[in-house]
Structure 1
Amino acid sequence: MKIQIPRGTQDILPGTVERWQYVEKKARDICSRFNYQEIRTPIFESTELFQRGVGETTDVVQKEMYTFKDRGDRSLTLRPEGTAAAVRSFVENKLFGQPQQPTKLYYIGPMFRYERPQSGRMRQFVQFGIEALGSHDPAIDAEVIALAMSFYKEVGLKRLKLVINSLGDTESRTAHRQALMNHFSSRVNEFCSDCQSRLEKNPLRILDCKKDRNHELMASAPAIIDYLNEESKQYFKKVQAYLQAMDIDFVVDPNLVRGLDYYNHTAFEIMSDADGFGAITTLSGGGRYNGLVQELDGPETPGIGFALSIERLLMALDAENVELPIEQGLDCYLVSLGDGAKDRLTPLLYQLRANGIKADKDYLNKKLKAQFKTADRLQAKYVAVLGDEELEKGIISVKEMATGEQQEVSLTEIVDFLKRKI
Structure 2
Amino acid sequence: MNIKAPRGTVDVLPKDAKKWQFVENKIKGICDKYHYEEIRTPVFEHTEVFSRGVGDSTDIVQKEMYTFEDRGGRSLTLRPEGTAAVTRAFVQNKLYGEANQPVKLYYFMQMFRYERPQAGRMRQLNQFGVEVLGSADPAVDAEVIDLAMTVYRSLGLTSLKLVINSLGDVESRKRHRDALIKHFTPYKEELCEDCQSRLEQNPMRILDCKVDRDHPSMKTAPSILDYLNEDSVEYFEKVKKYLELMGIEYEVDPNLVRGLDYYNHTAFEIMSEAEGFGAITTLAGGGRYNGLVEQLGGPATPGIGFGMGIERLLMALEAENVEIPLEEALDCFIVSMGEEPKSEVVRITHELRQYGIQVDQDYQGRKIKAQFKAADRYKAKYVLVLGEEELEKNVINVKEMATGEQVEIPLDQLTLTMKEKLLGGK
After TM superposition, the score normalised by the length of structure 1 is 0.98
- CA shift, 1:260, in A, is 4.2
CA deviations 1:201-241 (Å, max 9, x no partner) are 11001111121111111111111111112221111111111
- CA-to-partner distance for each residue in 1:340-387, whole Å, 9 max, x for gaps? 211210000000001100000001111111111100101111101111
Shift of 1:418: 1.0
1:258 Cα offset (Å): 2.7
Matched, 1:69 2:69: yes
**Which residue matches 2:82?**
82
Q: String of CA shifts for 1:286-309, please: whole Å, max 9, x gaps.
A: 100001111111111000000011
Corresponding position of 1:246: 246
TM-aligned CA deviation for residue 32 of structure 1: 1.3
In 1, the alpha carbon distance for the partners of 2:200 and 2:129 equals: 31
The DSSP-based 3-state class of the residue aligned with 1:413 is: helix
* Local SS of the residue matching 1:234: helix
CA contact (8 A) 2:208 2:255 kept: no
Residue in structure 1 matched with residue 294 of structure 2 by the alignment: 294
Task: Give the equivalent residue in structure 2 for 1:310.
Answer: 310
* CA displacement 1:133-184 (0-9 Å, x = unmatched): 0001000000100110111111221111111111111121111111111110
Task: State the AA in 2 paired with 1:25.
Answer: N
Mean CA deviation greater in 64-73 or 256-265 = 256-265
| Aligned counterpart, 2:46 | 46
How far off its partner does 1:2 sit?
3.9
SS at match of 1:242: helix
Query: d(CA) in 1 for partners of 2:336 and 2:309?
Result: 46
In the alignment, the residues of structure 2 paired with residue 401 and residue 159 of structure 1 have an alpha-carbon distance, to the nearest angstrom, of: 41
Amino acid aligned to 1:111: M
Partner of 1:325: 325
Residue equivalent to 1:224: 224
Distance in 2 separating the partners of 1:389 and 1:263: 73
Q: Residues 204 and 259 of structure 1 are in contact (CA less than 8 Å); yes or no, is this contact kept in structure 2?
A: no
Map 1:190-205 onto structure 2 (within 5 A): 190-205=190-205
Quote the residue 1:164 is aligned against. 164
Tell me which residue corresponds to 2:213. 213
**Paired residue for 2:415?**
415
Residue of structure 1 equivalent to 2:382: 382
Instruction: Tell me which residue corresponds to 1:275.
Output: 275
**Does the CA-based 8 Å contact 2:131-2:304 persist in structure 1?**
yes
For the residue of structure 1 that corresponds to 2:207, the secondary structure is helix
Stretch deviating more after TM superposition (343-352 or 163-172): 163-172
CA distance in structure 2 between the partners assigned to 1:133 and 1:121 by the alignment:
28
Q: Distance in 1 between matches of 2:2 and 2:258?
A: 43
CA distance in 2, matches of 1:130, 1:260: 16
- The CA distance in 1 between the partners of 2:248 and 2:325, in whole Å, is 25
Deviation string 1:89-115 (CA, Å, 9 cap, x unpaired) is: 101111001110001111102100000
**% identity of equivalent residues:** 64
The equivalent residue for 2:27 is: 27
* 1:127 match: 127
**Partner Cα separation in structure 1 for residue 312 and residue 177 of structure 2:** 32
Question: Shift of residue 47 of structure 1?
Answer: 0.8
Count of aligned residue pairs for this structure pair: 422
Mapped pair 1:348 → 2:348: yes
Q: C-alpha distance in 1, partners of 2:263/2:361? A: 57
Q: Does 1:37 align with 2:37?
A: yes
Q: Any idea what the Cα deviations from partners look like across 1:15-53, whole Å, max 9, x if unmatched?
A: 111111111112211111111111111111111111011
- The answer (yes or no) to whether the contact 1:290–1:303 under 8 Å persists in 2 is yes
Q: Take 1:83 and 1:212, find their aligned partners in 2: how far apart are those partners? A: 28
Question: In structure 1, what is the Cα distance between the partners aligned to 2:9 and 2:124?
Answer: 5
Tell me the equivalent position of 1:98: 98
Superposed, 1:251-266 pairs within 5 Å as: 251-266=251-266
Counterpart in the other structure of 1:335: 335
**Do the aligned residues in 1 keep the contact of 2:53 with 2:262 (CA within 8 Å)?**
no
1:202–1:259 Cα contact (<8 Å) kept? no
Name the SS for the 2:412 alignment partner: coil
Amino acid at match of 2:408: E
Structure 2 alignment gaps of length 5 or more: none
Match of 2:176 in 1: 176
- Unaligned stretches of 5+ residues in structure 1: none
| Distance of 1:208 and 1:289 partners within structure 2 | 18
Question: In the alignment, which residue of structure 2 is the partner of 1:393?
Answer: 393
Q: Does structure 1 conserve the Cα–Cα contact (< 8 Å) formed by 2:236 and 2:265?
A: yes
Paired residues of 1:382 and 1:398 also in contact (CA < 8 A): yes
Q: Which residue number in structure 2 is paired with residue 149 of structure 1?
A: 149
TM-score where L is the length of structure 2: 0.97
Structure 1 residue 335 displacement after superposition: 0.6
Q: Which residue of 1 aligns with 2:403?
A: 403
Check the 8 A contact 2:331/2:382 in 1, yes or no.
Answer: yes
Task: Write the distance in 2 (CA, Å) between the matches of 1:364 and 1:184.
Answer: 71
SS in 1 for 2:14: coil
